[in-house]
Structure 1
Amino acid sequence: MISFKGAQYPKGVILFAVLFYVRYGMSYRDLEEIMAERDVSVDHTTLNRWVTRYSGAIAEVARRRKKPCDRSWRMDETYIKVKGTWAYLYRAVDKYGKTLDLMLSARQNKPAATNFFARMLVVNGMLRKIVIGKSGANTAGIKVINKMLKGFGCLISIEMVRRKYLNIIVEQDHRFIKRRSRLMLGFKAFASAAATLDGIEVAHMIRNGKLTPGIFPFRQFAELAI
């Protein structure tokens, strides 16, 4: 359960504002105006704190509640500007397009790739193969994971496949994050960017029926906070 202790606004108001921001992509000042039209007076800086505080926590719950995935994965990274500097957003889906995980990293290197692969294994379980691009860091990261698995007594290693056409599904799936982040007028802090991107991913999963199809989006989002 996500704690709302100390919040001066009802939980429903907070969750509505957070979902609206990550789902539709807008500036905090735009959201401040929208909330005012609904007789909720809340400053744009408070809205920023809500998104930073609750988006990441809700995304963590969503990762653990999502439907089981296929054992064949697609992984790629894209670029997101944070405080005027490019950061790297690692994302992965299975071969049917179901979200596995995402992670914002200040660097594109072997430790970052290894950390991302380890996170995915913890949440999604073991895989058969993973399709990656030409990144040497990703290759090195998977080799580290395979070495770790072997040390734990796992006799089957993760197969690496480098075929660009197989990775089109995840490359195309980056587009919704790009569209949302452009409308948000940029990220001013790394922690805020990571939390917001987590929230965008959850809203995308809900929209595409990857959590609980048939239930209204806000109800699905709010249930993740219970």
Structure 2
Amino acid sequence: DHATLNRWVVRYSPAIAAKAKARKRPVCSSWRMDETYVKARGKWVYLYRAVDKHGDTVDFMLSETRDEAAATAFFNKSIENNDLPEKVVMDKSGANLAGLTNINIHLLVLGLWWSFIDILQVKYLNNIIEQDHRFIKKLTRPMMGFKDFHSASATLDGVETAHMIRKGQLNRPGVPAYRQFIELAG
């Protein structure tokens, strides 16, 4: 039944996504960051995403708000799961700029001023992430939104993990995608 499958997705995809993030190959130090919209419970929520300059997924996070606090939380999570980037390319969003500025201020307070993150706000250098959003939109548009924020987050964890497997980010060349997924689920 489709309801049973949905319950399995909500229950198991966050754990599978965590394993995939731990196994993925390191990303480049030049990131492209942007957010896209997804409907949950009739409201727009924001899927923050980052890819490196080669198109590999850095990290993703679903947030109910699009503000400085959400952008800061996304960057903290991304840096925790990866390393500090040298530069981040983003669009002209003030919230994303403020979030990354908070990270640089935190680095300054820690005395790590030499590791500041260069911030580039150039609309047309962000095409890699904009094209990567198409995959998410293609899958979520027919769903006409999610009934709950929690289930939206879990489902998008699974969708992003499947996308990382298809991109070949789990360092398993020659192993079919379904086998990689089974290894993560096992």
TM over 0.5: yes
TM-superposed deviation, 1:191 = 0.6
Residue equivalent to 1:195: 154
Sequence identity (%): 57
Aligned residue-pair number: 184
Question: Which protein has the larger Cα radius of gyration, Structure 1 or Structure 2?
Answer: 1
Q: Structure 2 length as normaliser, TM-score?
A: 0.95
The Cα of 1:151 is off from its aligned counterpart by: 2.0
Unaligned runs of 5+ in 2: none
Partner of 1:216: 176
Alignment partner, residue 70 of structure 1: 28
Q: 1:99 aligns with which of 42, 50, 57?
A: 57
Conservation of the 8 A alpha-carbon contact between 2:29 and 2:87: yes
C-alpha separation in 1, matches of 2:39 and 2:25: 31
**d(CA) in 1 for partners of 2:88, 2:66:** 18
Normalised by the length of structure 1, the TM-score is: 0.78
Cα distance, 1:195 vs. partner? Answer: 0.8
Q: Are residue 141 (structure 1) and residue 95 (structure 2) matched?
A: no
- Tell me how far apart the structure 1 counterparts of residues 68 and 53 of structure 2 sit (CA, whole Å): 24
For 1:128-207, what aligned pairs fall within 5 Å after superposition?
A: 128-156=86-114, 157-207=116-166
Deviation at 1:44, TM superposition (A): 2.5
Q: Displacement of 1:54 after TM fit?
A: 0.8
3-state SS of 1:174 partner: helix
* CA distance in 2: counterparts of 1:123 and 1:172, whole angstroms: 23
Measured in 2, the distance between the counterparts of 1:116 and 1:186 equals: 22
What root-mean-square deviation, in Å, do the aligned CA atoms of Structure 1 and Structure 2 show? 1.1
CA distance in 2 between counterparts of 1:124 and 1:209 reads 17
Code of the aligned partner of 1:191: H
After the TM superposition, which segments of 4 or more aligned residues of structure 1 sit over 3 Å from their partners?
none
Aligned equivalent of 1:30 = none
Higher fraction of strand = 2
